[in-house]
């Protein structure tokens, strides 16, 4: 039985987003489904491995890939999940916290885009449970530079595969397109869920 089942994002097709074509999105969906298939396969292999076996070369490889495939699946779900056009600006508690932690929305978007420009994999904003503040983080790969004790609320995919079909190497244009299609409402809902979990230094004891 499969542990992970791919989610469907067909509602993003047929012009639902400005500036991201069906060809681009369908290729991206296929990549995401590949991560789901791979994590199912890997966790099956890991679970059935005899831990008395001293030859752990394959076992080690599966574990290194496990976090890559799992994070690849989760990050793509968070990315597709925060796409929806027509929401121009953050509201409510999200706006309040962005203003508090970044001064204003323009500065926050500036950090998101700059991290999106310099990182190879992901730019994300997350609630940091140690401080109760929102931080922007850059991930070189799905499982590299991943922060602990944070709750991702906004996820931006900056791998070339996210925009190459539509924009070639023009990542700057893609970053603008992403912000124009960002669902601030979804980000706010995630933040509200994150805030409902008690935080503070105690979480790491």
- Residues near Fe ion, by CB under 5 A: 157, 159, 162
Q: Based on CB atoms, which residue is closest to Fe ion, 159 or 184?
A: 159
* C-alpha pair distances (Å), 110 with each of 46, 72, 123: 42, 25, 12
Q: Within its chain, how far is the Cα of 201 from the centroid?
A: 25
Calculated CA dihedral for residues 23, 24, 27, 31, nearest 10 degrees: -170
Q: Based on CB atoms, which residue is closest to Fe ion, 99 or 160?
A: 160
Q: CA-based diameter of the chain, in Å? A: 57
Q: Based on CB atoms, which residue is closest to Fe ion, 129 or 178?
A: 178
Q: CB of 35: closest distance to Fe ion in angstroms? A: 9
Are 132 and 126 in contact by the 8 Å Cβ rule? The answer is no
Q: Within its chain, how far is the Cα of 32 from the centroid?
A: 12
Are 124 and 152 in contact by the 8 Å Cβ rule? The answer is yes
Q: Based on CB atoms, which residue is closest to Fe ion, 11 or 120?
A: 120
Q: Based on CB atoms, which residue is closest to Fe ion, 99 or 166?
A: 166
Q: CB of 128: closest distance to Fe ion in angstroms? A: 24
Q: CB of 31: closest distance to Fe ion in angstroms? A: 6
Q: CB of 4: closest distance to Fe ion in angstroms? A: 16
Q: CB of 32: closest distance to Fe ion in angstroms? A: 7
């Amino acid at each position: 039985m499969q542990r992970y089942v791919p989610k469907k994002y067909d509602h993003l097709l047929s012009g639902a987003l400005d500036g991201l074509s069906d060809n681009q999105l369908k290729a991206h969906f296929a990549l995401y489904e590949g991560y789901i298939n791979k994590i199912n396969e890997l966790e099956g292999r890991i679970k059935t491995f005899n831990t008395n076996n001293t030859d752990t070369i394959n076992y080690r490889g599966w574990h290194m890939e496990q976090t890559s495939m799992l994070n690849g699946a989760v990050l793509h779900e968070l990315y597709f999940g925060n796409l929806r056009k027509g929401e121009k600006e953050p509201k409510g508690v999200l706006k309040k916290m962005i203003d508090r932690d970044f001064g204003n929305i323009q500065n926050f978007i500036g950090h998101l885009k700059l991290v999106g420009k310099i990182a190879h994999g992901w730019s994300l904003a997350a609630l940091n449970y140690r401080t109760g503040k929102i931080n922007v983080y850059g991930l070189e790969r799905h499982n590299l530079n991943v922060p602990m004790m944070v709750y991702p609320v906004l996820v931006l995919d900056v791998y070339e595969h996210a925009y190459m079909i539509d924009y070639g190497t023009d990542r700057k244009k893609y970053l603008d397109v992403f912000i124009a299609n960002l669902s601030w409402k979804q980000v706010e809902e995630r933040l509200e869920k994150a805030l409902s979990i008690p935080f503070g230094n105690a979480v790491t004891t």
